[in-house]
Amino acid sequence: KACVGFCYSKQKGRTRQTEQTSERTNERTNERTMGDTIDEGKSKSILSIASDKKEVGAQAAAFILSEADAAIKKNGKFTVAFSGGSLPKLVGPGLASAKPKNTDKWVVLFSDERCVSLESEDSNFLSVQQHVLNPLGIPKENVVTIDPNKVSDPDAAAIAYEEALRKATDVKTGVPSIDLVLLGMGPDGHTCSLFPKHPLLNANDPKQLIRSIKDSPKPPSSRITFTYPLLNQAKGVAFVCTGGSKSKSLKEVLDQQVKPEDKLPSARIENPRIFWFVDKDAAKDLKA
């Protein structure tokens, strides 16, 4: 098990290597998964590279459980937003095997959702339910889903979801601070349902935190999604990303020299705590 941890400070435009474990020399074992944090700038990323998808999932699951314990200890509950794709499958086994307590204090949200029924194979909820909610025994009343009665009207679905999110987080005005937002990244660098060169990349109204999209380049075309004010305000953001198809986008996301207007969607999040859990295939284009 080899792990390489890097800190990238987006504010300063520099890259620092904080910990490296070499497969070639096998100098150290993967006893820790995080690089040290650089305490500068308003946005930085910590990158953890694992040998394979299974190890990525295990590391990410351990991190989620640590964040949950801290949030519950401090606030009595843990608000966490899941994305769909491969993420639930990757983190589910590690979460379930840990048999965590206090999952009745988890409040589960969705960083984006397709405007389909909750039983549809395209539903992010269905995937999270199968791989996380049911194995962990999270109560149904703690899960904030898209309103199935509004999926035919994405605009109405977005408005209703924001209302439900505010109720779940006890924040009537302003931007809620979700404890942890879990994200994936597509080969094109998109995250949530925020796609390259799409107008929603400029959706920064704190009074419209959830937006609809009706022309998604990836089917299904109608969706609702978190926007950047919500992602930026989260107490932590964690990407889980595997596979060689993501390597070029990952390199570009972590490239400090890209002009702001040219940044990929995944690179536009400005949050003090951004974590990347990736495998060596996704990281193959990164320089040590």
Q: What pLDDT, in 10s, does the model give residues 28-57?
A: 223 233 443 323 245 678 999 999 999 999
Is pLDDT above 90 for 167?
Answer: yes
Q: Per residue in 82-126, pLDDT tens? A: 999 999 999 999 999 999 999 999 999 999 999 999 999 999 999
**46, 220, 266 from 203: Cα distances, Å:** 26, 21, 15
Mean pLDDT of 197-210: 95
Q: Give the H or E element holding residue 252.
A: helix 247-253
Q: Please, which residues have CB within 8 angstroms of residue 41's CB and are 6 or more apart in sequence? A: 9, 10, 11, 12
How far apart CA 237 and CA 228 sit, in angstroms, is 12
Averaged pLDDT of the chain: 87
Residue 204 structure tokens: 């920064």
Residue 42: the pLDDT is: 56
Give the whole-angstrom CA distance, residue 269 versus residue 87: 19
